[in-house]
Homo-oligomer: A and B are copies of this chain.
Amino acid sequence: MKVVIVGGVAGGASCAARLRRLDEKAEIVMVERGPYVSYANCGLPYHVGGVIPEEGKLLVATEQMFRAIFGVDVRTNCEAVAIDRAKKTVDLKNVATGEVTTESYDKLVLSPGAAPIRPPLPGIDLPGIFSVRTVPDARTIREWLQKKEPPHSGMDSYTGQQVVTKPERAVVVGGGFIGLEMVENFVHLGLEVTLVEKLDQVMPPLDPEMARLVERYLEKHGVKVVLGDGVAGFTQEKDGSLNVLTGSGKAFPADVVILAIGVKPETALAKGAGLELGARGGIRVDEHMTTSDPDILAVGDAIEVKDFVTGQWTLIPLAGPANRQGRIAADVIAGRDSRYRGTQGTSICKIFEGVIGQTGPSEKLLRMLGDTDFEKVYLYPNSHAGYYPGAKMLAVKALFRKSDGRLLGAQVLGEDGVAARVNAFAMAIQMKATVWDLEEAELVYAPPFGSAKDPVNFAGMVAGNLLRGDMPLVHWDGTAGNLLLDVRNAPELAVESVPGAVHIPLPELRARLGELPRDKEIHVICRSAVRAYYATRILLQNGFTAKNISGGMLTRSHRATA
């Protein structure tokens, strides 16, 4: 058995190591176009930012280790350029010499990854415009930042004090994971950073109103956030600095530009070999990671995956799924019945002190698919017991089936305890848990870590109250024409009030029911929708028609600008 693996990073490297463990006798050839195998491309932004100072740290497993421990014939700087499916051979080009050799295979695994999108815009090839995908990319950016003039210094004419001004200005194009991580790292390096994003939100997998909370972190740290404006081109000044031109006609000066507008599957090799591609442009595989050719498997960012929740084919370039797919491909080659279950899109991203976590589809994705059998809740619980120091408010949005209560997706943002909740939601989605299961979940609790009712429980309870009919919910976009009742206390209204809302503090509600109309639908407001829930219960049981406004004033504040 001879197996050739094209691509030596996440999926390919996992496949090679697993295959060797399953088959001591197989001949395994792993070719990698770049100079390194199994490197940590998720760490690249932090290497550029100096958080991970040593480049060597990014090399998770070396070529030497693959040879010595796994007996893999590793060939770096070696690009697979053509497949002859009939002869079962693959042509390999030595990137340095251009020499092409032909390698036979019994099974071929494609793990070529995805390439940063680099649209043919005017000026795109000017010096100082970079992508962040490989170790050499990061090295080039670091060198670029270092070779710039040292910071100008001089005397402040007013105070007479010595001042150091840093002229370095960075423009990051694209507000996804890599874009945001680059923004953070450039801010850490002391650069002035502008983020330009074509969509009207950062972090595209999130719903826009949740992304607003991310934008707040960016703005808090002095990042200029430009939304709804795509890049149209680049020009260069006499001093070598760049201008990033946008579709709306703006120009942003920059000493360094990062293009992080997404990646596209590397399918040239597969396409050239006549392998089936999907509508999204990725290599089509079945649950055994097998392409339309039974002797060719494919894994990682280059393939289309089934969305675990929606069942739709999609592109979700994430390291975790790539690694698991590589492992499954090895199993399949070794004759085992391993199957890939699909991708949930579980992700997490640090942006300054904030953490953005998500699992499962967003509301906008469900809507795009025409799905109407879902509801959503917003909640704002503490990350841990409020009486223990360091508790932070989490913003949670949960999506679930109206018909059967199944959890579909969750978005969690905050500064503490995000991973612990997203992991619980992620496992719940994987196991097809319902909101009733979330209500009864028994998660960790001690004052430094949670509450007796965890945010995940609360999400289940709020959703459960809705589905049981105990708490009719309305969202801020559905309140028009109805009576708004604000049950907060007077000092809270002094800070921010809702125009036209009737005000009765919750503790006075039972005594003042006579002031409310019985012929109108009453939409109840409080800060986070907890007191409004209590008020809604009082109103409903007293014969009023009432709904709780989901997420209260807290949701209003980030929806308002969404």
Contacts and interface: CB of A to CB of B under 8 A. Distances in A.
A319 B446 CA distance: 9
Interface in A369-389: 385, 387-389
Contacts of A442: 308, 320-321, 343-346, 359, 426, 430
A542 B24 contact: yes
Given A43-B385, A359-B444, 13 more contacts: A22-B537, A40-B387, A42-B385, A42-B447, A52-B388, A319-B452, A322-B452, A324-B440, A346-B443, A346-B445, A357-B444, A421-B423, A423-B444
A447 B40 contact: yes
A172 B223 CA distance: 51
B431 A437 contact: yes
A249 to B, nearest CB: 35
Given A319-B445, A359-B442, A417-B419, A534 B21 contact: yes
A506 interface: yes
Interface residues of A, number: 89
B24 A541 contact: yes
A532 to B, nearest CB: 12
A502 interface: no
Contacts of A20: 537
Interface of A: 10, 20-25, 40, 42-43, 46, 51-52, 57-58, 60, 68-71, 177, 308, 318-324, 341, 343-350, 355, 357, 359, 385, 387-389, 417-424, 426-428, 430-433, 437, 439-450, 452-454, 456-457, 470, 506-507, 510, 531, 533-534, 537-538, 541-542
28 contacts: A21-B533, A21-B537, A24-B538, A40-B387, A43-B385, A43-B387, A43-B447, A46-B388, A52-B388, A57-B387, A177-B446, A324-B440, A345-B442, A346-B444, A347-B446, A348-B444, A348-B450, A350-B446, A419-B420, A419-B450, A421-B423, A423-B427, A424-B424, A426-B443, A427-B427, A427-B433, A428-B431, A431-B437
Contact of A507 (B25, B60, B68, B537): B68
Contacts of A318: 445
Contact of A350 (B448, B456, B507, B531): B448
